[in-house]
Structure 1
Amino acid sequence: MSFFALGINHQTASVELREQVAFNPEKLSQLLAEQSQNHALNDMVVVSTCNRTEVYAMSENADMVMDWLAQVNDIDVKYLLNHVYRYENAQAVTHLMRVASGLDSLMLGEPQILGQVKSAFALAKDAHTVSANLNGIFEYAFYAAKRVRSETAVGSHAVSMGYAVAQLALQVFSQPEKLTVMVVAAGEMNSLVAKHLAEMGVGRVLICNRTRERAEALAQEISHRVEVEIIDFAELSEHLYRADVISSCTGSLHQVISYLDVKKALKKRRYQQMLLVDLAVPRDIEPKVASLDGVYLYGVDDLQSVIDDNLAQRRQAALEAEIMVNQLATELLTQQKVKHAGSTIYAFREQGDVLRQEELAWAMSRITQNESIEKVMENFSHRLTQKLLHPTSILLRHAAQQEDPSHFEWLRDNLQDIFNKRRKSKNEK
C-alpha cells in the first residue's frame, strides 16, 4: 500500500479545467461517503480550492485514484493525464507539507491554504475515509506547516490573495479614501479582501452575502475602520453601479454577475471605471465582462503578475522553508519505517524469549538433579549466548560470501559500534 498525491493546480491546468474538477463541500461529502464503502479505494482526502484539486490516498496504485477523479467529474482520463501531477510515498509526503505550508500556492506563503487543507481533512474524517496511517501523515503535515510559519519568514507579514486584491485596487485607483468596495460573499477569502482594504483606508465597504448573519459578522470586524453597509444577495445587480471595486468569491455553481448586469451598472455610473476581481472557481463573473470599456476584470490566474513585486523576500525565505520541509518529511518517513519494523523487532524478541525459557527449563532440570549451580549457570549462559548470536553469525557469513563487500562491512561496523557503546555505557556506570 503506497501513499499517493495526485491532482491539478494553477501551474498545470487552466481555470476552465480547474472548474471542471472542482468540488464543493456538499458534493465532496457525498462522494466520499459513497467511497467509504469501496474497499479498493476508501482511504483518501480531497483538497479542492480555487487553485487546486488534489487527492491524497493510500492505495495499491495511482491509476485507481486517477480513474476515480476522472469518473466523478465526467472527464476523459486520457485528457486529464496531460495536466495531472502525481507523487508517491516520500515525494507525496513532501508535496503535502509544501501545500499545507503555502510553499506551493499561487500566492507564496498564503495562510488560508492550511485552513483549507484542515477542512478537507475534517470532511474526509467525517465521511470515514481516513485510516490511522493517513491520519498520521496529515497530522505531521500540519505540524510541519506550523513549524514553517513560526520559524521562517514565510510565516511573517502574511501575503494572501486578499492582500493581492487590495494592492491591485490601489494600482487601479489612486485615491483609496474615495473608493466604494463591494464583496460578494463573506467567506474567508473575501473577508481578507475587506479587511485589507479597510486597513488601506477605503471609503466604504458593501457586503453582499446569501445569509445576513455572516455578513453582519464581517461588518462587525471592520466597522471600526470603515463605513459598512449590508446588501441582500437578491439585490446584488441593483447595487453593482455603486461599487468601484467588486470582489466575488461565492462558491456558486453558476455565475452571479452577468455581462448585462455590469453593462447596466456602467451606464448608471456614467462609465466611470470599475475593477472586478473573480476569486471563485467555478467563476462568478461572466468572462465577457472583460470586453466592456472602462472595466478591469481579473481572475485568480491573473493575480500572479500583480503580486510578483511583493514576493521577493518570501522567495528568499522559502529556500529556508524548503530545507525544513524536506528534513521534516525525512523524519516522518524514518518514524514510519521504525514503526513498521516494530512488528519484526517484536517477533525477534518473542523468539529470543522462547529460547530463554527453553534454556531456563534445561538449567532448572539440571539443578534439580543436584548438579553444581555454578556449573549449570555457566552452561546456561553459554548455551543461551550461542543460540541468540547464531542468526547474527549466519548473516555475517552470508554477507562475507558476496562479491560486494559493503554489506559485510556495514554489518560488521554497526555491530561493533553497538558493542562499543554498550561497553562504554557499562564502564560509565
Structure 2
Amino acid sequence: MSLITIGINHKTAPVSVREKVVFAPEQMSDALRALVRLPGLDEAAILSTCNRTELYCNLQTPQQEGEIVQWLSEYHHFDGGDLRPFIYELADIDAVRHAIRVASGLDSLVIGEPQILGQLKSAYSTAAEQGTLGKLLRRLFQHAFAAAKHVRTDTEIGSSAVSVAFAAVTLARQIFGDVAKQHALLIGAGETIELAARHLQSAGIQELTVANRTLERAELLGKQFNAKAITLSDINQVLHEADIIIASTASPVPILGKGAVERAIRQRRRKPVFMVDLAVPRDIETEVENLNDVYLYTVDDLQEVVTQNMASRQQAATQAENIIDVQTENFMGWLRAQDAVNLIRGYRDRAEIARQSVLTKARRQLAQGRPPEEVLEFLAETLTNKLTHEPTTSLHQAAREGRTELINAACELLKLPYPTNDKLP
C-alpha cells in the first residue's frame, strides 16, 4: 500500500485556478465514488475549500499518481497538462506530515486558523458515509485530528487574533464576556464582514443583523448566518438595538454620524455599545469616539494587535512543528507495524499447526494407556523441537556464512545475549 496526497492550494496556484477545481458539496459523493473506481485505488477522501483541493488516497502502487492527476484534470475539464504545474504530490511520510499540518492550521493562509480542522472533519465524514475510507485513511485522519488537538492544547497557536475581524470579535468578548447574549449589527457585506459574522457565530451569538447598500447582498449573507437583512437606509431604525457594531463598506462618506449614535444611546438608556470601524475611509464619524458609553476602535487600533499576534503565532508555529514531527513518526511507526502483521500471523499460524499436531499425538498416547508423565515429557520435548528446529538451522547456516547481521537480529528478536566469536552456534 502507498499513501498519496495530490493537491493544489493557495501556495501553488492563483484563485483563478483554484476556483476551477473546487468540488461543490453536492458533487462530493459522486466524485468520491468515481475516484475509487480507478484501478488500484483502495481508499480516498477529498478536501475542498476556497484555498485548497486535496485528494488523499491509498494506492496499491505509487506509480498510479499520474492517473489520479489525470482524473482530477478531466473531472474539472482541464486540457492536457494545464493543471499539472500547480499540483503537488506527497507520498508516505510527507503525506502524513502534510495531513497533520493541515489539520493543525500550519498550512493555512492564516497560521493557526481553526476553520480548516472542521473542514477536514467534514471531508472525513463524507468519505466515511460513502464507504471510501479503509483502515489506513481512517487511522490517518483520526491521528491528524488528535495531533491538531495536541497542538492547540500545548501551544498558543490559536489563542491570539490574526485578522482584524477576529480581533474585533475578541475585543467584543473582552468587553461583554458572553457575546451570545448580545445583538450585533454588521454594516457591509464584503469578505471582512463575512469573516466577522463567522467569528461571531462561532462565539455563539444569537441575534445578528446585516445592513448593506443592496438588500439582495445583505440577504445572501444573512442566509449563511441566520441573520436579519436590511438596507443602509434602515440602520437608524435598529441602531439602538445593537450592542456590537462592526462596519466595513466602500462608502466614500461616513455611514454613521454622531447624532444618530447619540439618539441610539439615549434609547438604550446609556447601555454601552461596542463599535469597530474597519473601513478606509471611515464608516463612523470620528466624533463618535467622544461619546460616553461608546467603545470605538478603528482598523489602525486593531492592526497593531494583529501585528503583535502574528509574531506570537509564528513562535507558536515553531513549537507546533516539533509536535508534528513526533506525531508524524508515531503514525509511521504504526504504519510500519502493519507491514509485519501478515508475517506475525503466518508465524503464529505455523506454531499453532505444530501445537495441534503434537497435541493430537499426545492424546493418542494417553488413549493407548501411556503414563501421563511420559506423555507430558513427549509433548514438551517434541513441541520444543518443532518450534526451534528451523530457527536454529538458519542460525547455524548464518554462522557458517559469517552473516553476523542476521545473528544479531535474531538476538534482538529472541531477547538473547549477543554472542562472542567463540560462542557462535
Tell me, yes or no, whether TM beats 0.5: yes
Equivalent residue pairs, number: 337
Q: Which of 1 and 2 has greater Rg?
A: 2
CA deviation profile, 1:36-64 (whole Å, cap 9, x unmatched): 55555473212122222111111232112
Q: Which of 133, 145, 154 lines up with 2:136 in the alignment?
A: 133
- Summarize the Cα distance change of 1:55–1:190 in structure 2 as closer, same or farther, 3 Å threshold: farther
Whole-Å separation in 2 of the counterparts to 1:12 and 1:55: 15
Identity of aligned residues (%): 32
Q: Is the 8 A contact 1:22 1:53 kept in 2?
A: yes
- Summarize the Cα distance change of 1:217–1:307 in structure 2 as closer, same or farther, 3 Å threshold: same
- Summarize the Cα distance change of 1:124–1:77 in structure 2 as closer, same or farther, 3 Å threshold: farther
Whole-Å separation in 2 of the counterparts to 1:140 and 1:187: 34
CA deviation profile, 1:287-323 (whole Å, cap 9, x unmatched): xxxxxxxxxxxxxxxxxxx966532222222222112
Matched AA of 1:87: L
Whole-Å separation in 1 of the counterparts to 2:125 and 2:116: 14
Whole-Å separation in 1 of the counterparts to 2:194 and 2:110: 15
- Summarize the Cα distance change of 1:398–1:46 in structure 2 as closer, same or farther, 3 Å threshold: farther
Whole-Å separation in 1 of the counterparts to 2:156 and 2:401: 51
- Summarize the Cα distance change of 1:2–1:368 in structure 2 as closer, same or farther, 3 Å threshold: same
CA deviation profile, 1:328-364 (whole Å, cap 9, x unmatched): 2222232233345334323322221221121122223
Whole-Å separation in 2 of the counterparts to 1:64 and 1:191: 41
Could you say which residue in structure 2 is the equivalent of 1:206?
211
Which secondary structure state, in structure 1, belongs to the residue aligned with residue 157 of structure 2?
A: helix
Could you say which residue in structure 2 is the equivalent of 1:335?
334
Could you say which residue in structure 2 is the equivalent of 1:62?
65
Matched AA of 2:384: T
Which secondary structure state, in structure 1, belongs to the residue aligned with residue 50 of structure 2?
A: coil
CA deviation profile, 1:157-206 (whole Å, cap 9, x unmatched): 35468438999xxxxxxxxxxx974134899745236679xx9xxxx963
Matched AA of 2:244: V
1:263-278 alignment runs, 5 A limit: 273=281
Bigger shift: 133-142 or 150-159? 150-159
- Summarize the Cα distance change of 1:214–1:148 in structure 2 as closer, same or farther, 3 Å threshold: same
Whole-Å separation in 2 of the counterparts to 1:355 and 1:195: 65
Q: Is the 8 A contact 1:3 1:56 kept in 2?
A: yes
Whole-Å separation in 2 of the counterparts to 1:188 and 1:128: 34
- Summarize the Cα distance change of 1:381–1:187 in structure 2 as closer, same or farther, 3 Å threshold: farther
Matched AA of 1:58: N
Matched AA of 2:139: G
Matched AA of 2:31: L
Give the alignment's Cα RMSD to 1 decimal: 4.1
Q: Is the 8 A contact 1:66 1:77 kept in 2?
A: no
- Summarize the Cα distance change of 1:93–1:165 in structure 2 as closer, same or farther, 3 Å threshold: farther
Is the counterpart of residue 18 in structure 1 residue 18 in structure 2? yes
- Give ranges in structure 2 of 5+ residues lacking alignment: 171-184, 213-217, 230-240, 256-279, 284-304, 419-425
Bigger shift: 346-355 or 410-419? 410-419
TM-score (norm 1): 0.66
Whole-Å separation in 2 of the counterparts to 1:161 and 1:70: 37
- Summarize the Cα distance change of 1:358–1:193 in structure 2 as closer, same or farther, 3 Å threshold: closer
Q: Is the 8 A contact 2:222 2:228 kept in 1?
A: no
Is the counterpart of residue 314 in structure 1 residue 337 in structure 2? no
| Deviation (angstroms), 1:213 | 4.8
| Deviation (angstroms), 1:388 | 0.7
- Give ranges in structure 1 of 5+ residues lacking alignment: 168-178, 230-238, 246-271, 276-305, 420-429
Could you say which residue in structure 2 is the equivalent of 1:226?
244
| Deviation (angstroms), 1:73 | 1.8
Q: Is the 8 A contact 2:189 2:211 kept in 1?
A: yes
Whole-Å separation in 2 of the counterparts to 1:128 and 1:370: 58
Matched AA of 2:16: E
Bigger shift: 15-24 or 45-54? 15-24
| Deviation (angstroms), 1:418 | 9.6
Matched AA of 1:19: E
Which secondary structure state, in structure 2, belongs to the residue aligned with residue 23 of structure 1?
A: coil
Which secondary structure state, in structure 2, belongs to the residue aligned with residue 74 of structure 1?
A: coil
Is the counterpart of residue 155 in structure 1 residue 158 in structure 2? yes
